[in-house]
Amino acid sequence: MAKQNTFTRAKKVLAGGVSASMRLHPYLDRPVYVTHGEGPWIYDQSGTQLLDFNNSNGASMLGHNHPEVHEALLTAISEGPVAAGETEAHVELAERLCKMIPSAERVRFASTGTEVTSVALRLARHVTGRDKFLKFSGHFHGLADAFLFEERDVFHSSAKPIAVSGGIPTSYAYDARIVSWNDRDAFYEMMETHGREIAAIICEPVWYNAGCVPPDEGFLQLLRDSADEHGCLLIFDEVLSGFRMAPGGAQDYFGVTPDLTTLAKALANGMPLSALVGKGEIMEELAPGGPVAHSGTYSGHPLSIAAANASTRILSKKKAYNDLNKTASWFYEQLQETFDAANLPVRVQGLGGRFGLYFNREADVRTSEDAATNDHRLNAEFVKGCLDQGIYFHAYRTAGPPGHSGITLAHTREQLGDALTVIRDVAGKLKA
Ligand SMILES: Cc1ncc(COP(=O)(O)O)c(C=O)c1O
């Protein structure tokens, strides 16, 4: 496991000892130092092989170091990549995304998910001339100031929108309107009261940042209809749900098309790349054609574009998802049976390549309130027990909803079967 002195050294030179806050594993109180990954495996500093259920926070959808992505990267490096250079490969990737993603008529590449959710909101504010937006409690849209509000702080409790970071202008709270996921009445009431001031409704169409909370039947269509009725945009943040259960992501799977969509993570199988895609007339408001600012030295970096072309050639095939979805459903059922047999109250919810485990819960998790009931003490004991036996689950916080976990196209039934044996053992020793 982690060499003690690496973290000791890190704390003297890296802020908080890490390069991203969520790499400090909240249950272990240290990062898991990784040397490399191969398929479904990661290897830690001491050479221990771990079956990876985090998959680069969901980015390595094909598994780590996928041979076709590896080859594409080597070729791109050998050609002498030029950052800030536009290439034909950008056009090839955009053409493929326009075929794959129902809402994609135009594409703009960027580097991170945070960047494209911010640009999506900027575009929505520009085309509607409104400032406010509606988000769902606990949905994660990156770390831009506008989105860092919660109706109910997940760490403390409070009645009004509250910043979940230091340094956020208090006035920004007035722009965020927040309701609980899948709560039709709360949503309806909010739109009746504030709909005409709202520039955009933004959501994770499958709320994976709380494990896996799918939309109730008809809920996404309700958002679509309400956005149309009130003259605002519908933005699907598919940074995590994109390419997860269908080639065109959640909008393809559920048959509801937003105006704008944000993509990242699986797009380039772990290389830094994001995309904002959407309706042509809205997207053409982006500079240079329109007045809405967006550009970046590293936007659509040629190495990331090469990785994304290789990844999406694979992810554009329906067959990939037939296989993935079958394996995933089988695994989630087996997981549920394993916890049930161990008499441990854990609710398993999964869709496509990502799932959530809700500790000390038997009922369905549907709303933001449901997701927040996760028992983090039990969750932590489970994660530590699994890690001791070669299985890696990440966690993102110690209160509120649980973190998200996943499988990739590289995880085989045999490996998952072995993992179930370990999970049976660990679960059998835990007490709710
Ligand atoms: C749904 C969603 N949106 C946005 C982001 C932010 O993406 P990034 O970490 O690339 O800035 C994330 C990251 O986890 C995410 O899950």
Selection from 270, 245, 249 nearest residue 258 by Cα? 249
Q: How far is the CA of 422 from the centre of ligand 1 (A)?
A: 30
Q: What is the mean pLDDT of each successive set of 10 residues along the chain, which is 432 residues long? A: 78 97 95 97 97 98 98 97 96 98 98 98 98 96 95 52 91 91 95 96 98 98 98 98 98 98 98 98 98 98 98 96 97 98 97 98 95 97 98 96 97 98 97 83
Q: How far is the CA of 320 from the centre of ligand 1 (A)?
A: 24
- Cβ(344)–Cβ(360) below 8 Å: no
Q: Is 141 in the pocket of ligand 1 (CB under 6 A)?
A: yes
3-state secondary structure of 346: strand
pLDDT in tens, 193-205: 999 999 999 999 9
Answer whether 346 contacts ligand 1 (Cβ < 6 A). no
Q: Ligand 1 pocket, 182 CB below 6 A?
A: no
Predicted local confidence at residue 39, as pLDDT = 98
- Determine whether the shortest distance from the Cβ of 264 to ligand 1 is under 6 A: yes
Q: Which amino acid, residue 286?
A: L
pLDDT of residue 155: 45
* Gap between the Cα atoms of 9 and 6, Å rounded: 5
Q: Phi and psi of 274, rounded to 5°?
A: -135, 165
**For the chain, how long is the longest CA-to-CA vector?**
61
In this structure, the residue with its CA closest to atom 8 of ligand 1 is 113
Ligand 1 lined by 114 (C-beta under 6 Å): yes
Q: What is the residue with the minimal CA distance to atom 9 of ligand 1? A: 113
| Domain at 4-65+318-429: CATH code | 3.90.1150.10
pLDDT at 4: 59
Query: What are the backbone dihedrals phi and psi of residue 112, each rounded to the nearest 5 degrees, phi first?
Result: -125, 165
Query: How far is ligand 1, taken at its centre, from the CA of residue 283, in Å?
Result: 21
Residue located nearest, by CA, to atom 3 of ligand 1 = 141
Whether the CB of 261 sits within 6 Å of ligand 1: no
H helix runs in 147-244, sequence order: 184-194, 219-230
CB of 34 closer than 8 Å to CB of 44: yes
**Is any ligand 1 atom within 6 A of the Cβ of residue 338?**
no
Q: Where are the domains of the chain?
A: 4-65+318-429, 67-315
Q: How far is the CA of 98 from the centre of ligand 1 (A)?
A: 21
pTM of the model: 0.97
CA of 127 to the centre of ligand 1 (A): 24
In CATH terms, is domain 67-315 a member of 3.40.640.10? yes
CA–centroid distance, 210 to ligand 1, in Å, is: 13
| CB 44 within 8 Å of CB 2 | yes
Q: What is the pLDDT of residue 9?
A: 97
Ramachandran quadrant class, 81 (left: phi over 0; alpha: psi -120 to 50; beta: rest) = beta
Distance 362 CA to ligand 1 centre (A): 29
CB 394 less than 6 A from any atom of ligand 1 = no
Phi, psi of 350 (to 5 degrees): -145, 155
C-alpha–C-alpha distance, residues 424 and 356, integer Å = 17
Please indicate whether residue 40, judged by its CB atom, sits closer than 6 Å to ligand 1. Answer: no
Report the C-alpha dihedral over residues 8, 14, 16, 20, rounded to 10 degrees: -120
Contact call for residues 299 and 111 (beta carbons, < 8 A): yes
pLDDT at 170: 86
67-315 has the same fold as 4-65+318-429: no
Element (H, E) at 37: strand 34-38
Considering only CA atoms, which residue is closest to atom 16 of ligand 1? Answer: 240
CA of 141 to the centre of ligand 1 (A): 6
pLDDT for position 161 = 82
